[in-house]
Structure 1
Amino acid sequence: MNEVSQLLQRRSLIVRLQDLVTRERSAPFRWTLALTLFAVALIVRLIINDDLPSGFPYLTFFPAVIIATLICGLWPGIISAILSGFASWYFFIAPAYTFELTPGSVLALLFYAFIVSVDIFIIHTISVTSISLRQERQALAALAATKERENVQLLENDAYQKEMSLELAHRMKNQLALVQAIVSQTLRSATDMETLATTLNGRISALGKAHDMLIHGATGHAYVEDIVGDTLALYDDTRLKISGPKVEIAPRSALSLSLILHELGTNAAKYGALSTCEGMVGIRWTVSDEAEPVFEIVWQEIGGPQVAEPSRRGAGSRLIMAGLGVGSQVSLNYEPTGLRCTAAVPLSELQNKQ
């Protein structure tokens, strides 16, 4: 455990050092810092000059050059090294306070130039390598983030495909049940083969038109009466009581209304009032006389089998409960006499074409 802790501490220290070296700094800051380091090194060297034996003219300048190159960059480090060389030559290499070249001063300057050049080369190489490693880490992090987003998108797409597959299965099941109900009702009411063929053909055609409208949606302006009539045209109109004022409806709301009516009609043909010979369905809509009018449509089944609220809500029920737009309120009441569905929405939202 101690070894792991020490390894993590060393790794943290390395990361901090890399951050110190590779951090981007402005040019004024870098040059100011490099010159400040040189000035501090010179002042400290002058202060301790009397306490040092001869032969240490560069004692404080080497750290200043190393730090300047490490933090401020190559050229600030080089300038700091040149200034440090001249300062050492003038103040601390005999004869002091002069730039006279003697064999001793030449040797000392050559030694300084060699050592400081090696230091700058090593420090600059470390800095370039650290910057390259940082860029690679950033590129890898960006790539990992991209891959993560792609994986999330794939998971979302997979979930969406599964949801669409379930919805398609539900729709196909409803369509087959609806065709079966249409054929069954037509057979019960037809008096001869010619009437049977004509009625059955008309209702199947109406089903196809309603299906096309659900897929492609309504375009341009439409009226509630037209949407109700087109969507429920496949059912026996003698068993439908439709009433309501002329209300214009936006395409988006028309599609929502078509979906709700199609779902209610399918359920009525499979389980409700339209699954028997005696059942009836009333569809009535009104617009309230208020400052902000509210559109309300009521689907009421009577004379069918006794209904009961299902134990769980399926895709069809969720579609119905989605309503007709923002601010929509939908209620499903499973009354003993038949299902009653009420949907209300502000008229402005129903007619909103945005």
Structure 2
Amino acid sequence: MRWSVPRSARFQIVFSVAAIAISTALRFGVDFVLPPGFPFLTYFPAIILTAFFAGPRAGAAVAVATGLVAWSFFIFPAGAPGVSPAATIAMLFFALIAGTDILLIHVMKVALRRMVDAEARSSALAASRSLMFNELQHRVSNNIGTVGSLLRLQERRMTDPKARAALADARARLEVVARLQRRLHDPARQSVDMGEFIRGLAQDTIEAMDAGRRIACLYELEPFVSEPDQAMPLGLVTSELLMNACEHGIPAESEGLIAIRLARLSDRAMVRLAIEDDGRGVPDGFSPGEAGSLGLSIAAQFAHQLGGRLTVRPRPQGGTVAELVFPEAGPAARPAPAAAPQPHETV
């Protein structure tokens, strides 16, 4: 587009004169090798280039000037007999072709300019919508955080242990959802590195449960890329299992270790997420759906949404193993380009 913008009068004059001079010199230079009947051979390129680079008016001026030069030197030179019908027809054809070329170039430049303007408007509209989306998500996250802060204040005022525990659970879930939303709701994000995502989500959950000082986490996370639509329910399952481990698996005021493992299974079509704690464990035959725990019920529902299977069983060394096996996302899922994870990292 930088070559098709309107030009100054000086540029148009210089370009037109140069086009006339160069095309005429070339025509005289090849005159001795051309058979009769090619008076306009070098003039058509000059007209087209001038119309494109200098504008339709300059192109029309070059067409008139080169037509007169061709008429005077190659069609009807001095001393030649009277004007023939063939010469007149040739000039008419030259005028028709030159005018058509100039018109087409003008229409093309106008259409191109309109297309660029429309693209600029579309880009501005997309940027405005992206800004509004980011602002909306920011406000939603802030509102959720505000509600969580209000619940924290109310929790401190409660004297009933059961009511206080219920408010603590609700507040922790709200804080996790707010942080989860900040991590996922990005209009430019088309994929999520699940290993990095779960690591950050686990840290947010432990922090929301005020358990960062007494519970350490060990991560064995195989990175792979998935869609945000899969990351959201997987993140909610992860946070619910972690909250359950912090609240019920490892008693309050006790120290413990939670191991979080994420890896593809051997067939590469299924993924296994395991959350292990060294707490007091669960009895044999434990079923998440029959436990009466709100957190495990929520986790089971989101596991079903993922098309996976959630199991909770005793850990042989003591404690609990919560395992989710779910299908890897469809065509969008692919190995992450990140380097291989450190197999034993404790935080």
So what's the TM-score if we normalise by structure 1? 0.41
So what's the TM-score if we normalise by structure 2? 0.42
Of the two structures, which has the highest relative contact order with CA contacts closer than 8 Å and spacing of 6 or more? Answer: 2
